[in-house]
């Protein structure tokens, strides 16, 4: 038994020395197999266990296990040392193959609403309109009062409003999140003299329940043209041209009376349904027409308020929702898809 104990101790010492002096991972592996492999030296010693007296077997067995674990530990540590290559060697090994094709960077794309706003503005720019933008946090004066909607006027119910807390609003005057882009009509006319031809895209906010056709935050595009001798025929011609440019040259348009306090007369404009060609279908709710915007001749009271002489100047204005236009153009049934952040939807608009 003592002989076997000595053999084991010698074997451990030899194995450890050999492990430490192995030059690389291959040599290390050979050493491991030499001592711990199926036909290795430790295994050979263990095979002799059954020949020992029964009372000696546990002691020698335990010692053999200790030797095995000690050798395995050293092998693992040495292997780790081989795998951690010093910095200089990494540089020497790592080479860049400049002839490999590049990796294509992930490109973003414009949101479908942004795309449609750009198309709408593009059509009007070609007709001589300039693009302007304005504040989304607005005074009550511009959003309502100057547009012929004084306090307590029932027309205020047409626009459910997010009001700014009076404690934070400046100068004690009522402020709000603009409910439409029409306040920009006033701001622009206050700052310029006719002729005016502008198009104003921008975000609007309404305290409304969200459903398939309404969001509480949405976009509008406002248009305004003021000059001498502008008539309703100019309004019709401009908007008809716009509809044909955006929806196709065969489009028909229909104007019907509508009410907005800041225009007189006021209208809404529809195009004939491009899906059923006016015959009636699910998209146009069997009417043959799709409503796309509100419009009208600028009210003389509004012109007078900004210092334009209503006897000399006249103009037309209109406001449309690009999301509505995109829904019609692409047959999208629910406005909530646009801001639902589902890439499967958004990727359809390259």
Which residues are known to be catalytic? 159, 180, 206, 220, 263, 317
**Cβ at position 324, least distance to ligand FA5 in Å:** 4
Measured distance CA(135)–CA(204) in Å, rounded? 10
Measured distance CA(81)–CA(62) in Å, rounded? 29
Binding-site residue total for ligand FA5 (CB under 6 A)? 24
Among 246, 324, 327, 329, binds ligand FA5 (CB under 6 A): 324
The answer to whether 205 contacts ligand FA5 (rule: CB under 6 A) is no
Among 295, 327, 328, 332, binds ligand FA5 (CB under 6 A): 295
Comparing CB distances to ligand FA5, the nearer of 129 and 218 is 218
Comparing CB distances to ligand FA5, the nearer of 72 and 227 is 227
Among 194, 202, 261, 319, binds ligand FA5 (CB under 6 A): 319
The answer to whether 329 contacts ligand FA5 (rule: CB under 6 A) is no
Among 18, 22, 182, 314, binds ligand FA5 (CB under 6 A): 182
**Cβ at position 269, least distance to ligand FA5 in Å:** 10
Window 62-91: residues binding ligand FA5 (CB under 6 A): none
CA distances (Å), origin 341, targets 147, 279, 338: 36, 35, 7
The answer to whether 35 contacts ligand FA5 (rule: CB under 6 A) is no
Tokens of 30: 């050979």
Q: Which stretch binds ligand FA5 (CB under 6 A): 34-42, 93-101, 123-131, 207-215?
A: 207-215
Q: What is the 3-state secondary structure (H, E, C) of the chain?
A: CHHHHHHHHHHHHHHHHHHHHCCCHHHHHHHHHHHHCCCCHHHHHHCCHHHCCCCCHHHHHHHHHHHHHHHHHHHHHHHHHHHCCCHHHHHHHCCCCCCCCCCCCCCCCCCHHHHHHHHHHHHHHHCCCEECCCCCEEEHHHHCHHHCCCCCCHHHHHCCCCECCCCCCHHHCCEEECCCCCHHHHHHHHHCCCCEEEEEEEEEECCCCCECCECCEEEEEEEEEEEECCCHHHHHHHHHHHHHHHHCCCCCEEEEEECCCCEEEEEEEEEECCCCCCCCCCCCCCCCEEEEEEEEEECHHHHHHCCCCCCCEEEEEEEECHHHHHHHHHCCCCHHHCCCCCHHHHCCCC
Nearest residue to ligand FA5, scored by beta-carbon proximity: 321
Window 124-153: residues binding ligand FA5 (CB under 6 A): none
**Cβ at position 347, least distance to ligand FA5 in Å:** 23
Window 210-229: residues binding ligand FA5 (CB under 6 A): 214-215, 218, 220, 222
Measured distance CA(114)–CA(202) in Å, rounded? 10
**Cβ at position 218, least distance to ligand FA5 in Å:** 3
**Cβ at position 322, least distance to ligand FA5 in Å:** 8
Comparing CB distances to ligand FA5, the nearer of 27 and 217 is 217
Window 225-284: residues binding ligand FA5 (CB under 6 A): 260, 263, 266
Among 199, 200, 297, 317, binds ligand FA5 (CB under 6 A): 317
Which residues of this chain interact with ligand FA5, rule CB under 6 A?
180, 182, 206, 208, 214-215, 218, 220, 222, 260, 263, 266, 293-296, 317-321, 323-324, 335
């Amino acid at each position: 038994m003592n002989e076997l104990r000595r053999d084991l101790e010698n074997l451990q010492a030899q194995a450890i020395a050999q492990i430490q002096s192995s030059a690389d991972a291959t040599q290390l592996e050979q050493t491991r197999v030499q001592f711990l492999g199926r036909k290795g030296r430790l295994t050979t010693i263990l095979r002799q266990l059954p020949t020992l007296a029964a009372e000696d077997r546990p002691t020698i067995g335990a010692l053999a296990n200790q030797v095995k674990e000690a050798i395995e530990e050293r092998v693992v540590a040495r292997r780790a040392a081989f795998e951690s290559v010093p910095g200089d060697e990494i540089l020497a090994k790592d080479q860049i193959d400049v002839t490999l094709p590049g990796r294509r960077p992930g490109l973003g794309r414009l949101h479908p609403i942004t795309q449609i706003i750009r198309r709408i503005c593009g059509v009007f720019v070609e007709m001589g309109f300039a693009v302007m933008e304005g504040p989304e946090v607005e005074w009550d004066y511009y959003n309502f009062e100057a547009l012929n909607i004084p306090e307590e006027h029932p027309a205020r119910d047409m626009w459910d409003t997010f009001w700014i807390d009076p404690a934070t609003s400046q100068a004690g005057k009522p402020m709000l999140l603009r409910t439409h882009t029409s306040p920009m009509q006033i701001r622009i006319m206050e700052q310029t003299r006719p002729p005016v031809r502008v198009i104003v895209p921008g975000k609007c906010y309404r305290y409304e329940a969200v459903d398939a056709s309404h969001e509480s935050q949405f976009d509008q595009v406002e248009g305004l043209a003021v000059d001498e001798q502008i008539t309703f025929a100019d309004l019709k011609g401009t908007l008809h041209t716009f509809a044909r440019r955006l929806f196709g040259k065969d489009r028909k348009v229909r104007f019907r009376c509508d009410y907005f306090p800041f225009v007189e007369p006021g209208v809404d404009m529809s195009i004939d349904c491009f899906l059923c060609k006016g015959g009636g279908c699910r998209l146009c709710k069997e009417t043959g027409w799709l409503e796309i915007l509100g419009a009208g001749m600028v009210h003389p009271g509004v012109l007078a308020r900004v210092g334009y002489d209503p006897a000399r100047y006249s103009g037309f204005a209109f406001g449309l929702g690009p999301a509505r236009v995109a829904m019609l153009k692409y047959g999208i049934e629910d406005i909530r898809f646009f801001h639902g952040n589902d890439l499967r939807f958004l990727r359809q608009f390259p």
